[in-house]
Chain A
Amino acid sequence: MVIFLRIELIDISKSFGDVKALDHVNLTINSGEILGLLGENGAGKSTLMNILFGLYRMDEGEIRIDGRPVRISSPQDAISKGIFMVHQQFKLIPTYTVLDNLFINYVKGTDSLKPRRVKDEVRIVEELMKSLGFYLPLDEKIGNLPLGVQQRVEIIKAFLRGASIIILDEPTTNLTPLEVEELFKLMRDLKKKDIGFVFITHKLREVMEIADRVAVLRKGRLVGERRIHETNPEELVEMMVGQRIENLYQFELKPSEQRMEPVLELRDVLYAEKGILKLKNISIRVYPGEIYGIAGIAGNGQSELLNIITGYLKPSLGKIVFEGKDITNTPILKRIELGIRVIYEDRVRDGALPSLPIFDNSILGDHVFPPFAKGKILNKDEVSARAERIVRIFKVATPSIWKIAGRLSGGNLQKLMVGRALDKQPRLLVAYTPTRGLDVATTRFVLEKIVEVRNNGGAVIYIGEDLDELISISDRIGVMYKGELMGELQRKEFSKEVIGKMMAGYRLAEAMSK
């Protein structure tokens, strides 16, 4: 194992063309410590770490390990010095087992031709699992495992390889809250074994929870460094965004008018897939001018609920009523025409046309309706106008509406998807974690836009995994657990504790009493 105490990054600068990605950044990384590296999208966090990992070459500056200057010109260099990086896209082989993946390239040079000692390998991992208290299914193929487990394999692989510093690039983006907890536990345990972590993120809460120290980058400059107990979220946001964002999670919810007809009513909706019950007797009413939040851990029926409302799935039993009309058997396009808009959870899979330009992407679902289509003919001017409007209002960073959507960054693509859903005031908006992967300022912006839909009299169903977000914008919250609605809370009754218990399977009354 390579053991060292500190890495110093001194005066690092890096430009891409005319863009100064890093401007004389100084940073110290210690083993046995978790360093949170905060910043908005494009602040230079990943660039800095890619330089340390040998993927990019710096223009100026110096890296020192334990005081001695070093040159890191490739990931192999970095690894040999005990520095590992876990990217958002894992570098694992999906068709190999966990054990194979852990020990690929484990021995270097000519030794790699010798037969593997599988028994020894299993023993090493099992001992480690016992001492750290985690579990990996060693014989399972990587491709069959959830992302959280794959990530654990990456981290353990780095540990077995003798890492002193492990860089995690936005590690929680694709994880469920439970998986995040497990990741944090593993990080704390490895910290005790003197491993240092660099935790790249823009999620404040996670930094506050796990980091010992935090460094904030903004537009390529180091804005500041704090010990975690000496700072607070408000200060960090200000450092990240560069201005004070008052009350990040406070929105102006105009008082709703008298309860009228519900916009959407689900009556005893039941849905089964391949003999497995996914939704059990769900009954929900959503009124105009209301945000109905749905809390729950991912995979408890939220996707099915969304797809049933859009018409992609047909309920096995039960009725869907929209503005007084039964739409249980109404096809998708007809529902879009009625004013049901959706922001899907997986923007690339469910929302985008990656090989087509923004132009085409801006009317998916509206492409058969006026003004975008006159009969069967597309109205190019109207489509362009909408695409331009979305780009302008939702601040999609692009040279033109002819840019291929698949080449937009994740945040910009998400803005495009949100913009498409909101370009025309929806009667009903169904949004599933529309802020996932967005930075602080953009998250705030998207939530404001959704609140605007509500304040203009639209009904919103907001399916979220982030309780702060849900609590801040919802008028009511229903909690789902294993396809069932555990109960509904009114705004004045919101409590993270109660909702958390319901997410774990307690009914409303039980959760309140305990």
Chain B
Amino acid sequence: MKTALNVRVLLYYAFALLVAFGFMGTLLFALGYSPINGYATFFKTPFMNLRAIGLFLVKFTSLYLMGLAFAVPLQARKFNVGNEGQFLLGAIGAAVAGIYFGDLPSFVALPLGLIIACLLGMLWAAMPAFMLFLFNVNEIVSMILFNFISFYLVDYIALGSLRDVFAGHPMTIPVSDYARIPTIVPQTNINAGLVIAIIVGIAMYIVVSRTTYGYELRAAGSNPIASEKHGINVKLLAPLSLIMGGALAGLAGGIEVLGYHYRLIEGMHGFYSPLSIILTLMVKGNPLLLFLSTFFVTLVDVGSNALQRTMGVPVEISLILLGLLMLLIMIAEYLSERR
């Protein structure tokens, strides 16, 4: 899984970024905003102070793990659009475990919460995966349907016996202090979840590019017939990769609950799933390059929110920017591959 990175290719990508952000300035100008102020807000706000950086990194962590959850099955050409539901199931698992097992010592309660989050994410992916394995049901369709179920499951929990009755929005009561992921920079939201994400990301890179399992995933994704004729169990491999993706998305949900919100909140998945798909496709699922693309997508997301707050620019500008960036990257790829 070596990516041919040479100067020319990098130049193409840099050019794509430049054009996309140039277009953003033009758009701001055309809409009657000052592009200079726009750029300043866009690029400065996320890193204004420690608190802002903290929020940036929380988002980065979730997006990265969600991207990874999409990237691993992508190696086998499976599209884990169910990472949204898997994320929510992970969040549910972490919240419930964090409340019920909250009186256990921290070194038990915290890992337990994260493990349950992973397991529930896996379970959520496993059902469509089994339907794919046994009946050849298209995993995209079934996973989208499972996403819907997960939204209502969140409602059910957040409005049920664990409901925080003092909150205006459906959410559970907070998890116990013992189940929370420790922050690594005081007075901020920067927590150990970021470290977990980085370790998991590097581990996934090794799994995908250096193990026989990863090799078989990539082979099956490239040519299922040839892979099968050379002894790779493609039929089993694809569902397995989805379940693995489920664990990663579940972990993302668990970390967001135990490291940031400290509770389950209705709607906490936001735009994570579509954004994660974009940022993964940008780098063709390479777990290391994913750090870069996640950084950019997080920047665009946080930056455009800042634009809306301070200048009243509609937040949809982030979607325009990302769509354009994706298109330009595809063009850059085409240009760099042409000889």
Interface assignment of B4: CB less than 8 Å from any CB of chain A: yes
Residues of B within 8 A of A352 (CB): 223, 226
CB <8 Å contact, A354 and B231: no
Interface assignment of B8: CB less than 8 Å from any CB of chain A: no
Residues of B within 8 A of A357 (CB): 2
Chain B, 206-248, contact with A by CB distance < 8 Å: what is the 0/1 string?
0000111101101101110111111100000000000000000
A243 to B231, CA, bound (A): 43
Number of interface residues of A (CB under 8 A): 32
Residues of A within 8 A of B213 (CB): 376
A356 to B218, CA, bound (A): 8
Residues of A within 8 A of B216 (CB): 367
Interface assignment of A316: CB less than 8 Å from any CB of chain B: no
Chain A, 348-376, contact with B by CB distance < 8 Å: what is the 0/1 string?
01111111110110011101100001001
A357 to B228, CA, bound (A): 19
Q: Given A336-B231, A402-B2, are A364 and B210 also a contact pair (CB < 8 Å)?
A: no
Number of interface residues of B (CB under 8 A): 20
Residues of B within 8 A of A363 (CB): 215
Q: Given A359-B2, A365-B231, are A353 and B226 also a contact pair (CB < 8 Å)?
A: yes
CB <8 Å contact, B223 and A360: no
Min CB gap A446→B, angstroms: 20
Residue B230 contacts which of A349, A356, A364, A377 (CB distance < 8 angstroms)? A364
CB <8 Å contact, A356 and B231: no
Residues of B within 8 A of A377 (CB): 210-212
Q: Given A355-B222, A356-B222, are A378 and B231 also a contact pair (CB < 8 Å)?
A: no
Interface SS of chain B: helix
Residues of A within 8 A of B219 (CB): 353, 356, 360, 364, 367
Q: Given A367-B215, A402-B2, are A380 and B210 also a contact pair (CB < 8 Å)?
A: yes
Q: Given A331-B231, A373-B212, A378-B212, are A364 and B218 also a contact pair (CB < 8 Å)?
A: no
A352 to B229, CA, bound (A): 11
CB <8 Å contact, B227 and A364: yes
Min CB gap B236→A, angstroms: 13
A353 to B229, CA, bound (A): 12
Residues of B within 8 A of A359 (CB): 2
CB <8 Å contact, B212 and A364: no
| B225, B228, B230: residue with the most chain A Cβ atoms closer than 10 Å | B230
Residues of B within 8 A of A351 (CB): 226, 229
Residues of A within 8 A of B218 (CB): 353, 356, 360
CB <8 Å contact, A349 and B210: no
CB <8 Å contact, A312 and B229: yes
A359 to B215, CA, bound (A): 11
Interface assignment of A310: CB less than 8 Å from any CB of chain B: yes
| A307, A353, A380: residue with the most chain B Cβ atoms closer than 10 Å | A353
Residue B212 contacts which of A332, A353, A354, A367 (CB distance < 8 angstroms)? A367
Interface assignment of A333: CB less than 8 Å from any CB of chain B: yes
Interface assignment of A344: CB less than 8 Å from any CB of chain B: yes
Question: Which A-chain residue is minimally distant from B207 (CB atoms)?
Answer: A376
Residues of B within 8 A of A355 (CB): 221-223
Q: Given A378-B211, A378-B212, are A350 and B222 also a contact pair (CB < 8 Å)?
A: no
| B4, B215, B228, B231: residue with the most chain A Cβ atoms closer than 10 Å | B231
A380 to B219, CA, bound (A): 16
Min CB gap A82→B, angstroms: 34
Residues of A within 8 A of B227 (CB): 353, 364
| A:299-333 near B, CB below 8 Å | 307, 310-312, 331-333
Known: A349-B225, A349-B226. 20 other contacts (CB 8 A): A307-B229, A312-B229, A332-B229, A333-B230, A333-B231, A344-B226, A350-B225, A351-B229, A352-B226, A353-B227, A355-B222, A356-B218, A356-B222, A357-B2, A360-B215, A364-B227, A368-B212, A368-B231, A380-B210, A402-B4
Residues of A at the B interface (CB closer than 8 Å) are 307, 310-312, 331-333, 336, 342, 344, 349-357, 359-360, 363-365, 367-368, 373, 376-378, 380, 402
6 A-B residue pairs with Cβ-Cβ distance under 8 Å, sorted by A, are A333-B230, A344-B229, A349-B226, A353-B226, A353-B227, A367-B212
